[in-house]
Amino acid sequence: MNQVSKIQRRRRLLLCLALICLPMVMNAAWAHKVLLGLWPDGSDIEGELGFSNGDMAAPGTLVEVLGPDGEPIGETRVTEEGLFRFTPTRSVPHTFRANLGAGHVAKASLPMDEMPKIRDSGTPSGDAASVESQAVVPVSAERPADAPTLDPTALEMLIAEAVRREVKPLRRELSALKEKIGFQQVLGGLGYIAGISGLLFFVYARRS
C-alpha cells in the first residue's frame, strides 16, 4: 500500500512537471493565421500573402480586389513566394481579400494616402506627377556633364525598389513578432481562468 502511494505521488509529481514544462516548449510555436501585407510599387500595388508560421500562399491563389463599398474591382493571382501584383485603374482605397480554404481568410486595405499614383489614366494625380517630374528636370541638368544622366522618376523607382528589398526581411520579422505569443499572455489567460473558477465558486457557494 505504501509503495502504491509512493508510485502515485511520483506520478503526480511527473504530471505537475509536465504541466510546468509545457509552456516553455510552446513558446516557439506559431498560430497559423493568414497574413496579408500591401504596399505601393511604382504604379502597382504589390502584396504578400502567407501564413503566420512563415509559409507563403501557393502560387495561383486567387486574391480578390474590392472597392471602398465592397464592390469587386478586379482580381489577381499569387505568383511565386506569396507575392501578388495589381495595377489600380481608379484612385479609390483598395481592399484585398484572399481565401486560403478551411476558414483561412485574410483581408487588408490600402488607404488613399498610400495608393500608388495611377499611370496613363488622365486623373489629376497622374498629371500632377508628370508636371512635378518636368519641373525637376532643369535641376538635374545643372549637374556636371560627365555624370550619367538619370531620369528622376527612374531614380525614384530604383530607390523605392532598393528600400523595399532592404526592408523585406524586417517586415517579415515584424509580422512574426506581432504573431508571437508571449509567456505573459499565457499566464494572463490562465489567471483569468483561475479567476472565473473562483467567481463561480463564490456564486455556487452562495446559492447552496
Q: Which positions lie near another protein, rule CB under 8 A?
A: 8, 11-12, 15, 22-23, 25-26, 29-34, 51, 53, 55, 58, 99, 101-105, 107, 179, 181, 185-186, 188-190, 192-194, 196-197, 200-201, 204-205, 208
Q: In what order do the strands lie in the sheet with 72-77?
A: 72-77, 62-66, 94-99, 105-110
Q: CB of residue 86 vs another protein: minimum separation in angstroms?
A: 20
In 3D, which of 129, 55, 64 has the Cα closest to residue 91? 129
- Closest to another protein by CB, 72 or 188: 188
- Closest to another protein by CB, 23 or 68: 23
Q: CB of residue 49 vs another protein: minimum separation in angstroms?
A: 13
CA distance 90 to 72: 12
CA distance 65 to 172: 23
Q: In this structure, what C-alpha cell is assigned to residue 87? A: 495595377
- Closest to another protein by CB, 22 or 154: 22
Q: CB of residue 188 vs another protein: minimum separation in angstroms?
A: 6
Residue 130 in contact with residue 136, Cβ under 8 Å? Answer: no
Q: CB of residue 71 vs another protein: minimum separation in angstroms?
A: 17
- Closest to another protein by CB, 35 or 110: 35
CA distance 115 to 133: 19
